[in-house]
């Protein structure tokens, strides 16, 4: 595989800068902290890092409300710090991806400050402005993800502006070609710095329906999703007019044309749409995004059938595109709590890592996943997330997955010498890096073992997939290249299980992956609780998805 295709099957480690390591005692992680821990990240056996936003921002949404796309917020350091980070990561053979947030800016961005002043200034139509209805209410029924109407009144213009997220995050008007060009220029700035990839936040939100048509209502039985249960009115609509508009496809091709001028650079799109899998397939077709990911495996549904059906459904729709999978990130409850219940175990943590990294696609793991961190119970008085504050107590927001990394078993986990921006849970101290380093059987060392073992098996990186129809709780499939076919099976429960596998012969079990090992005698598969089998076959099964 050429270096330009480094992203195919790569494992990308997501770093949330605020919570990684604080080096100046202000309680917030920073770029020098990432630099200090890059050797640790490289030692995990991952291929790349993805850094959440570190740009200048008033931090209403903790960096996803950007006031200047080309500068580093002093909270995180300087542009020179980022350049040092990039150089060290590349010296360690780590690729560097950065978050870009093209759909909206901060209200503090100079573009918006100019746009809101009048209806006839040079940037008057850089954002989505609309007249009120005759009774003064918002122009349509669109809702914000963070609750309430997606429109905010601006007295200077006597108009409403659109915000699909917080009121402090006005949406850019991508129907304006000058806006599209300005966004591409900001992306070019970081490409010229030498970044290896972009994670494009909310990329399907760039365009809106120019006619501002109302979204249709959604039946109560379909009101599900990330924080979109019945307590959030956002779930009450089919969001077909305020995002995922057909005009976005041409803009994705513009992004790709720019990226293609920088060999080896890849784009990963975050997609949250009415049918996210279909949108991923569409957005990665032809000369659009290199890969896309959604929230399908970031839900509460933990079953072999759901995983098999989800991955198969995407594979069936892909037309030359490439998927990306994640089971944790900075927006959802940590997977070990979400899928592991009240008493999750280290074997489950390592099984989930192996299961994720055995899927066909690029893989994103979230900082702390390698430690087996659980969701923190952040008390209301310590909450920082506006999403959680607005919907407490039914939905506690995203702070529970954003608490600082525990590096040492000491006060604040060795994250800071000051007061951390979010509290470090006491139960995380027992899982600190320093504690787990010296334990060969720890979750951390199990993570390292599997990641390095995976590198020796190209089929797990780029191989075709053929699922095997197995009963719960077993997920089984093959991964095949021209030179290697692997049989992979996972027991998603804590109890041992046995079953007959169809059409399996001459299989050689592989060791060294660090998981609880299953056995295969003829077609008889036996798996211990949270156990796995990796076996080499001497044939490629029919029906493997290339």
Residue 532 belongs to what H/E stretch? strand 531-537
| Measured distance CA(530)–CA(166) in Å, rounded | 41
What token pair was written down for 515? 């998981």
| Measured distance CA(219)–CA(311) in Å, rounded | 26
Kind of pairing between the strands at 11-15 and 48-51: parallel
**Contact assessment for residue 485 and residue 464, using Cβ atoms and an 8 Å cutoff:** no
**Contact assessment for residue 321 and residue 292, using Cβ atoms and an 8 Å cutoff:** yes
What token pair was written down for 324? 């990306």
**Contact assessment for residue 500 and residue 471, using Cβ atoms and an 8 Å cutoff:** no
| Residues in Cβ contact with 142 at an 8 Å cutoff, skipping those fewer than 6 apart | 149, 150, 151, 162, 164, 214, 215, 237, 241, 242
Among 220, 242, 241, 240, smallest CA distance to 229 is for 220
| Measured distance CA(460)–CA(361) in Å, rounded | 9
**Contact assessment for residue 56 and residue 65, using Cβ atoms and an 8 Å cutoff:** no
- Mapped onto helix, strand or coil, the DSSP state of residue 11 is strand
**Contact assessment for residue 246 and residue 253, using Cβ atoms and an 8 Å cutoff:** no
Give the number of other CB atoms < 10 A from CB of residue 12: 25
- Mapped onto helix, strand or coil, the DSSP state of residue 58 is coil
Give the number of other CB atoms < 10 A from CB of residue 10: 21
- Mapped onto helix, strand or coil, the DSSP state of residue 334 is coil
Peptide bond into 473 cis (omega under 30): yes
| Residues in Cβ contact with 430 at an 8 Å cutoff, skipping those fewer than 6 apart | 409
**DSSP state, 256?**
H
Residues labelled as active-site residues:
201, 270
- Mapped onto helix, strand or coil, the DSSP state of residue 118 is coil
Residue 464 phi/psi, 5-degree rounding, is -70, 160
| Measured distance CA(68)–CA(113) in Å, rounded | 12
| Residues in Cβ contact with 290 at an 8 Å cutoff, skipping those fewer than 6 apart | 7, 256, 259, 266, 267, 268, 284, 322
| Residues in Cβ contact with 211 at an 8 Å cutoff, skipping those fewer than 6 apart | none
- Mapped onto helix, strand or coil, the DSSP state of residue 65 is coil
CA dihedral angle for residue 270, residue 274, residue 276, residue 280, rounded to 10 degrees: -80
- Mapped onto helix, strand or coil, the DSSP state of residue 278 is helix
């Amino acid at each position: 595989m050429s270096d330009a295709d480094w992203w195919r099957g790569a494992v990308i480690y997501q770093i949330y800068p605020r919570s990684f390591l604080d080096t100046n005692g202000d309680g917030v992680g920073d770029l020098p902290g990432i630099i200090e821990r890059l050797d640790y990240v490289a030692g995990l056996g991952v291929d790349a890092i993805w850094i959440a936003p570190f740009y200048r921002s008033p931090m209403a949404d903790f960096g996803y409300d950007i006031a200047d796309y080309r500068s580093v917020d002093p909270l995180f350091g300087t542009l020179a710090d980022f350049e040092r980070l990039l150089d060290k990561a590349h010296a360690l053979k780590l690729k560097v991806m950065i978050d870009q947030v093209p759909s909206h800016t901060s209200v503090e961005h100079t573009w918006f400050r100019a746009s809101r002043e009048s209806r006839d200034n040079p940037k008057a139509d850089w954002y989505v402005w609309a007249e009120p209805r005759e009774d003064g209410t918002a122009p349509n029924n669109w809702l914000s993800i963070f609750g309430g109407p997606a429109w905010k009144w601006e007295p200077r213009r006597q108009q409403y502006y659109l915000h699909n997220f917080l009121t402090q995050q006005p949406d850019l008007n991508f129907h304006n070609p000058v806006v599209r060009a300005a966004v591409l220029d900001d992306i070019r700035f970081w490409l010229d710095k030498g970044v290896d990839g972009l994670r494009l936040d909310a990329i399907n939100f760039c365009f809106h329906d120019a006619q501002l048509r109302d979204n249709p209502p959604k039946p109560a039985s379909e009101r599900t999703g990330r924080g979109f249960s019945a307590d959030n009115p956002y779930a009450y609509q089919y969001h077909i007019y305020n995002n995922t508009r057909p005009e976005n496809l041409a803009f994705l091709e513009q992004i790709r044309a720019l990226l293609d001028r920088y060999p080896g650079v890849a784009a990963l799109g975050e997609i949250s749409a009415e049918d996210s899998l279909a949108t991923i397939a569409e957005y990665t077709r032809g000369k659009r995004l290199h890969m896309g990911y959604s929230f399908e495996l970031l839900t509460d549904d933990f079953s072999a059938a759901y995983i098999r059906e989800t991955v198969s459904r995407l594979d069936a729709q892909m037309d030359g595109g490439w998927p990306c999978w994640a089971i944790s990130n900075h927006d959802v409850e940590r997977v070990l709590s979400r899928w592991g219940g009240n008493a999750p175990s280290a074997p489950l943590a390592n099984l989930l890592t192996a299961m994720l990294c055995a899927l066909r696609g690029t893989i994103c793991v979230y900082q702390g996943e390698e430690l087996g961190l659980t969701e923190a119970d952040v008390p209301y008085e310590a909450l920082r997330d506006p999403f959680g504050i607005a919907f407490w107590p039914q939905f506690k927001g995203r702070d529970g997955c954003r608490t600082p990394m525990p590096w040492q078993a000491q006060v604040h986990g060795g994250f800071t010498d000051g007061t951390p921006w979010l509290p470090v849970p006491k139960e995380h101290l027992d899982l600190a890096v320093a504690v787990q380093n010296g334990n060969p059987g720890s979750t951390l060392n199990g993570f390292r073992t599997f990641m390095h073992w995976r590198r020796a098996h190209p089929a797990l990186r780029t191989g075709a997939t053929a699922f095997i129809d197995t009963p719960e709780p077993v997920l089984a499939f093959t991964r095949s290249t021209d030179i290697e076919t692997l049989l992979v099976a996972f027991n998603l429960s804590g109890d041992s299980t046995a079953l007959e596998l169809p059409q399996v012969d001459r299989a050689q079990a592989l060791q060294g992956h660090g998981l609880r090992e299953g056995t295969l005698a003829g077609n008889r598969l036996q798996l211990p609780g949270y156990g796995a089998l990796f076996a080499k076959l001497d044939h490629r099964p029919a029906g493997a998805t290339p």
